[in-house]
A and B are shown apart, each in its own frame.
Chain A
Amino acid sequence: MKARFRILIGVAILVLAVGTGTWLYVFRKDTTDMVRAKTDFRIGAADLYREFESGEQPATEKYGSKVLEINGQVISIEKNEWGNVTVTFVDPMFGVTCTIDSLQAIGQAGLIGEINAGDSATLKGRCDGMLTDVKIVKCVIVK
């Protein structure tokens, strides 16, 4: 009787654990914490753009969906119409654009306020690929 009770409890715990795991997996939000995310590559913005410009496909295969720490001289920093903050390196059109989501921008407002065009900055985010510029999204300011 005691053994049967233990088995029942064990099965109930197992079902609960699997159920919770499945629920979390299916319904979890994309809460990528870039502050804690492991950096896959550290690279200068100019070098990154050059690599994409000289071979977009191999560069996309190498950096696509990876976490990058980008450093360089800021060309511009501005809040766009969606509340996201974009930090541009190298060139306004043909460079590297790092986007800080609106919510993250509120949390990092102090750090964002310290960056001006011409300053050196390091941002960390996910590389999505290249259009006219290399797009780095979900960014946080490292320094």
Chain B
Amino acid sequence: MKRFSMLFCAILAGFSLHAQDRYFTKTGHIDFFSSTPIEDIKAANDQVTSFLDIRTGEMVFSVLMRSFTFDKALMQEHFNENYVESDKFPKASFEGKIMGPGKIQWDKPGAVTVTVKGKLTIHGVSREIEESGTFTVEAGKISGKSVFKLKPEDYGILIPQIMRKNIAEQMTITVLMYYLPYKK
């Protein structure tokens, strides 16, 4: 479990030497949405920690699974205990890179869609993913957004047959970060 704190430190150490290239947030947002004819399930987490190096394009996210909040308390219990096993696998993470960070003019207002490649780890299972996302620069602030699909089974999260009709085969994941300059 210490790995993720060390990962952040290692990435920070490896990040650009120029402080103005480094951005972070401790209050990023990730939610997932599952829709079936039987029910919709949505859970959100506003406690995501993320670092971004705008020069190298490196980025890292880490999230505590217990911080996902559901509308129904029972769903939250099942999510933590039966599906993602939060005691055993308390965190999920992403380590990756923006492909061609140079094409974003970080000092000028505008929005650019990019491809992000990296390793997503959930439930102790790591997989290489490649998704598109949009970075927006507005009033000197940087935000990033990505919406993509994910199959729980790809990460060893097994849905019991009895619940199969209640939970979509693919979840829609929305990632939204508002970054602040990292000054240290």
**Hey, which bits of chain A sit against chain B, CB under 8 A?**
25-31, 53, 56-57, 60, 64-65, 80-82, 84, 86, 93, 97, 99, 128-133, 135, 137
Chain A nearest CB from B66 CB (Å) reads 5
Cβ-defined contact, A93 with B90, below 8 A: no
Give the residues in chain A near B1, CB-CB below 8 Å: 56-57, 60, 130
In the docked arrangement, what's the CA distance between A56 and B5, Å?
9
Chain A nearest CB from B63 CB (Å) reads 8
The 6 closest A-B pairs by CB, nearest first: A30-B73, A131-B49, A80-B27, A128-B66, A128-B64, A129-B64
Given contacts A30-B73, A84-B27, 10 further A-B contacts (CB under 8 A): A27-B74, A28-B74, A53-B5, A82-B29, A84-B46, A93-B182, A99-B47, A131-B26, A131-B63, A131-B64
Cβ-defined contact, A30 with B70, below 8 A: yes
Name the contact of A132 in the complex, choosing from B26, B46, B71, B87 (C-beta under 8 A). B26
Give the residues in chain A near B24, CB-CB below 8 Å: 93
30 pairs from A and B in contact (CB 8 Å cutoff): A25-B74, A26-B74, A27-B74, A28-B73, A29-B73, A30-B70, A30-B73, A56-B1, A56-B2, A60-B90, A64-B66, A64-B87, A65-B66, A80-B27, A81-B27, A82-B46, A86-B27, A93-B184, A99-B47, A128-B47, A128-B67, A131-B26, A131-B62, A131-B64, A131-B91, A132-B8, A132-B62, A135-B47, A135-B67, A137-B47
CB within 8 Å: A-B pair count: 80
In the docked arrangement, what's the CA distance between A29 and B178, Å?
28
In the docked arrangement, what's the CA distance between A56 and B3, Å?
10
Give the residues in chain B near A128, CB-CB below 8 Å: 47, 64, 66-67
Chain A nearest CB from B100 CB (Å) reads 27
Does chain A have a CB within 8 A of B18?
no
Cβ-defined contact, A135 with B64, below 8 A: yes
Chain A nearest CB from B137 CB (Å) reads 16
Which of B5, B24, B47, B67: most chain A Cβ within 10 A? B47
Chain A nearest CB from B155 CB (Å) reads 19
Cβ-defined contact, A129 with B66, below 8 A: yes
Does chain A have a CB within 8 A of B72?
yes
In the docked arrangement, what's the CA distance between A128 and B65, Å?
8
Chain B nearest CB from A96 CB (Å) reads 11
